[in-house]
Structure 1
């Protein structure tokens, strides 16, 4: 299927504004923070989990109570967490945002949503490009679903379990998008209003602010945008809370410091069933993919300074 350039461009805009909100939700909690909690009243969550299945379920528990920074803390050992935090401040890492397929678009999304007169401009763009184009957008979703599965099949960076999981995700999201009223004018206007307000509440303007805040504070700052994204998805019939609540994790095999965890959940009325790898580090369990991706997000270590050249012995004085 060949997709017209204009349709692809329109779909990318929709993805950046609408589907991008879903991607925030994949690693974000579902309710606003508890405003009654006193700073310093709650002890930091431990790094890692007690069991392999808890390496998954603990993360989901953090997401459901809106503890985004706790997700990053539980997902990584203390030493790796500290290195990623430091790399955030220099702009060298954006993990765990790099877990999202559209992480490169985040600075641009923030800039567009917080620009002067953003709501009016985005509404005009929606009206011009997407309003009333539900059928074309649904057709585009079908084509992009096929393209996504072909891409996964030929790219070598994914293992068999990742491919199996991602294909299920693509099928579920493509099926949802093919039924969702993506070009509905009223929903489009309300979606833009919610996202602009959510982005404004983050206090973030772009990538420089994420570096200034660092990982912990940066993830906390992004919560209002997630909340707006969740509300947007509800307008189009996709419930994030239901997906998080449906997830079940079960340890199916342990061999030394490695384990397999079966993970099942429902996304857009589709049942997802996959297996994730967990590893034990210093007595605590972590998801292997998260450790690998966090390490990969870091800049290479600085080369060691060459050892000082040994001074040549002085020639003996002439007699």
Structure 2
């Protein structure tokens, strides 16, 4: 039965009996027999089959997350039994957004590997959403509002936004005293439509709708936005985890001080670690997620620093 579950998940991911047979180095008929046996056991067809296309049925769609969960629980139990008191070892694969990964994941991985020297890590920094099953990833760091899925998610921190600019820009253009004043300023914005929660929205301003700010420089790269702000190209509205160091050094100035490091509002996007049930490396994934969460802290260390600078008790 377990082999049938594993074959079902492999076929669902590949969309092909022959591709799974090729990967497993078995005959296509062997893969087909396992799916036939599983369908007979469940009393439901799991795939629509035709010479040109293989697709999950409604029953297959419903069974897919349950199969992953069952195999995940089994793999976790097996790994826990085999591990005993032994130190965790082997490969852990992690993916994270490029800028967040460089600034906050690499350091956490360094201390994680010092703590667990028998573990090896492959870190993939990429801004696109990675299919954990297809790419065989153990942990993904994702920033934003998570859609419903069968992934196991752990919230690491809430995102807090701050509006800031360089002293050179403020000397040249003047300092905005309220969010409405931003409409008269050069604002560094994204080149593509912003994700929900990352727009220029301020409580009680513009009927709580996003401000239609404009500027001469746009980019989708957070480091590019930061460098543009440091060069005095305009006002920046960005997550505190990006600009904490520059705010503390004075290279950037928070325009509305109560905003920086203030408690996040409901509905704000979060920073999450997600993993897929069914991976055999569940114990290592949980260990790393717990380690990363502890490194960041209940109040993220970058927000805690800004609160301390403002004289707010940590």
TM-score by length of 2: 0.22
Q: Which has the larger radius of gyration?
A: 2
TM-score by length of 1: 0.22
Greater percentage in strand = 2
Greater percentage in helix = 1
Comparing both chains, which one has the higher relative contact order based on Cα–Cα distances under 8 Å and sequence gaps of 6 or more?
A: 1
